[in-house]
Structures are given as structure tokens and as C-alpha cells.
């Protein structure tokens, strides 16, 4: 004979677990949907990541998101089964506020890293200025940009040997100047001042010939010809000889051009380099 009392007790106990089972099923569905979206985001980021370090950053970032979402799901299950949605909202709100306050800079840094990876304002090897820091991008991590400093203790475009760690969060606050976003060449100049007695046309010709001689190995790649701009100065005529040169070797090229112009003018007639001097006129004094 069937014991209906036991059967009813079993059904009663089963009914108490139905809300929990429903909550778990809902959480599992949400988890699979989130995993699918995260997987698509991960694939998109991996397509843009070129370096081994960048791929590692994508893996770490996706893992952090997954663990954080799992924690929220666990809280969701606990508070839903307990029947306290207000407690769930309060707990999640407090947790989010606490994490947001404690991890404000790191989270902003990760957001900056995502922006760099997706928008690509610069890449590894580019020469950039971020705020008041200038250097070549050596590495881009989840939290920092590593720059090989240029200049530093000397005023030049040459590498100083020091590495600067720039927080990713700063890219939302500072201007970014990329020397090599379009190509590797930028405008540079060598300044020479010749006397007013000099043949200006000849001085310009000598200067341009010096530039063409030094830049002939890459002149076709720039697609632009060198030119001269002239200005009056108290000492003489100032010639700004301008040309496009590779970013990584600006100082070397400008030094070679300066030497070539100097040697050309020294050998030429009718052109003299101006320098500070004083002319004294002597004559008989009349009483």
C-alpha cells in the first residue's frame, strides 16, 4: 500500500528546492551568454594584439572579467534563494563602490589599455610625446606604457638610456603627439646665418646641395624636397634649411648636414658665415 504521507512530504521538500533550481538554471544561462560575449570580445582584441605581451594582457584581462562576473553570479544565487533582492542590490552596490574606489586608477589604466589596443593612437616602436614625457614606445601593458626616453638630461632627439613608465590612465588626461603615425619622416631644420655682404642665392644653393647629398639615401621615400626660409637678424641673413628625415636619426642627420654646409661655405667665394663682431672706425679727432 502506497504511503501517501511520505509522498506528500517528498513533494513538499522538492517544492522548497524549486526556487533554488530555477535560480541556478537562470544563472547558468546568464553565465553562458556572458561567456559568449566575452569570447567574442577576446577574439576581437587578440586579432589586434601583435606582440606576445599584448596577447598575454588580453588573456589576463578576460580572466579578470570572468572571475568578477562569477562572483556577482554567486551573490545573485545566494540572495535570490534567500529571498532578499534588496540585500543583493545593496551588497552588489557596496561591492561595486568599494572596488571602484580602491581600484580607480588600475581600472582606468585597463580602460586606457583597451583604447590603445583598439584605436591604436600609437604602437610599439613609435616615438611619442605623452604630456611632458617623450620617448619611443617599448612595451604596452595592462597598467603602464614603457617609453625609452629621448632627450632627458640633454636637449636632443637621441635616446638617453632611461626607461619611463607612464600610467595608462594618463592618456585620458594628456595630449598625445605621435611622430610616426603616418610615416617615419618628420620635418627638421638646420639654421645657418650668413653676412649681409654674402651672396644669398649662392648660400641657399650650397645649403640645399648639402641637404641633398646627406639625404639622398632616403629622399625618394619622403616625397618632399628640401627648402630654405630666410629671415633678417642683427648679425646677418638667417637661412632655415628644412627637410624631412627619419625620426630615429634626426640628430645624426642634422649634424652631418651642418658639417657639410660649413665645409661648403668655407670653400666658396662670396659667402661668409656671420658671427658676433664689432667694427671700430678710427679717424683723426677734430678739436
Helix (H, G, I), strand (E, B), or coil: what is residue 246? strand
In this structure, is residue 115 part of a structural domain? no
Mark whether 51 and 87 lie in a shared domain.
yes
In this structure, is residue 11 part of a structural domain? yes
Neighbours of 180 (CB within 10 A): 19
Contact of 156 with 150, CB cutoff 8 Å: yes
- Could you say which of 135, 162, 178 is where a domain stops? 178
Given this model, what pLDDT does residue 210 score? 96
Note the residue count of the chain: 287
In this structure, is residue 66 part of a structural domain? yes
Residue 11 grid cell: 513533494
Tell me which residue range forms the domain holding 18. Answer: 4-102
Mark whether 201 and 241 lie in a shared domain.
yes
Instruction: Provide the domain count of the chain.
Output: 3
Residue 56 grid cell: 598575454
Residue 39 in this model has a pLDDT that exceeds 60: yes
At 157, which CATH number?
Answer: 2.30.30
Given this model, what pLDDT does residue 6 score? 55
In this structure, is residue 146 part of a structural domain? yes
Given this model, what pLDDT does residue 64 score? 72
Entry pTM = 0.66
Contact of 178 with 121, CB cutoff 8 Å: yes
Given this model, what pLDDT does residue 74 score? 75
In this structure, is residue 207 part of a structural domain? yes
Mark whether 51 and 67 lie in a shared domain.
yes
Contact of 192 with 239, CB cutoff 8 Å: yes
Q: How confident is the model over 149-185, as pLDDT tens digits? A: 998 888 888 889 999 999 998 998 899 999 988 888 9
What is 14-56 written as a DSSP string? Answer: HHHHHHHHHHHHHHHHHHHHHHHHHHHHHHHHHHH--SHHHHH
For residue 8, name the pLDDT band (cuts at 50, 70, 90). very low
Q: How confident is the model over 75-122, as pLDDT tens digits? A: 776 666 555 555 555 555 665 666 555 557 777 887 888 888 778 888
Q: Which of 250, 245, 260 is nearest to 155 (CA)?
A: 250
Chain mean pLDDT for the chain: 81
The pLDDT > 90 percentage for the chain reads 39
Residue 139 in this model has a pLDDT that exceeds 50: yes
Comparison of pLDDT for 30 and 267, the residue scoring more: 267
In this structure, is residue 276 part of a structural domain? no
Q: How confident is the model over 192-212, as pLDDT tens digits? A: 999 999 999 999 999 999 999
Amino acid at each position: 500500500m502506497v504511503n501517501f504521507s511520505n509522498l506528500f512530504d517528498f513533494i513538499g521538500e522538492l517544492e522548497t528546492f524549486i526556487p533554488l533550481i530555477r535560480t541556478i538554471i537562470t544563472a547558468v544561462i546568464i553565465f553562458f551568454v556572458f561567456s559568449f560575449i566575452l569570447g567574442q570580445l577576446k577574439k576581437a582584441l587578440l586579432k589586434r594584439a601583435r606582440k606576445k605581451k599584448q596577447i598575454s594582457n588580453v588573456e589576463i584581462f578576460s580572466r579578470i572579467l570572468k572571475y568578477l562576473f562569477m562572483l556577482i553570479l554567486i551573490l545573485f544565487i545566494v540572495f535570490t534563494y534567500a529571498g532578499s533582492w534588496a540585500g543583493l542590490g545593496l551588497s552588489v552596490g557596496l561591492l561595486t563602490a568599494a572596488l571602484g574606489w580602491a581600484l580607480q586608477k588600475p581600472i582606468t589604466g585597463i580602460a586606457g589599455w583597451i583604447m590603445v589596443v583598439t584605436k591604436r593612437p600609437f604602437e610599439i616602436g613609435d616615438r611619442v610625446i605623452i604630456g611632458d614625457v617623450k620617448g619611443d614606445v617599448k612595451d604596452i601593458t595592462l597598467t603602464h606604457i614603457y617609453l625609452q626616453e629621448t632627450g632627458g638630461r640633454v636637449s636632443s632627439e637621441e635616446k638617453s638610456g632611461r626607461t619611463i613608465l607612464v600610467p595608462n590612465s594618463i592618456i585620458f588626461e594628456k595630449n598625445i603627439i605621435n611622430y610616426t603615425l603616418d610615416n617615419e619622416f618628420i620635418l627638421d631644420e638646420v639654421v645657418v646665418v650668413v653676412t649681409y655682404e654674402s651672396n644669398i642665392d649662392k648660400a641657399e644653393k650650397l645649403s640645399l646641395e648639402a641637404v641633398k647629398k646627406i639625404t639622398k639615401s632616403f629622399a625618394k621615400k619622403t616625397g618632399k624636397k628640401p627648402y630654405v626660409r630666410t629671415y633678417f637678424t642683427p648679425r646677418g641673413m638667417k637661412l632655415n634649411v628644412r627637410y624631412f628625415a627619419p625620426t630615429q636619426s634626426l640628430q645624426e642627420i642634422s649634424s652631418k648636414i651642418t658639417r657639410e654646409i660649413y665645409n661648403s661655405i668655407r670653400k666658396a667665394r662670396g659667402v661668409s658665415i656671420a658671427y658676433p663682431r664689432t667694427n671700430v672706425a678710427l679717424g683723426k679727432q677734430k678739436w
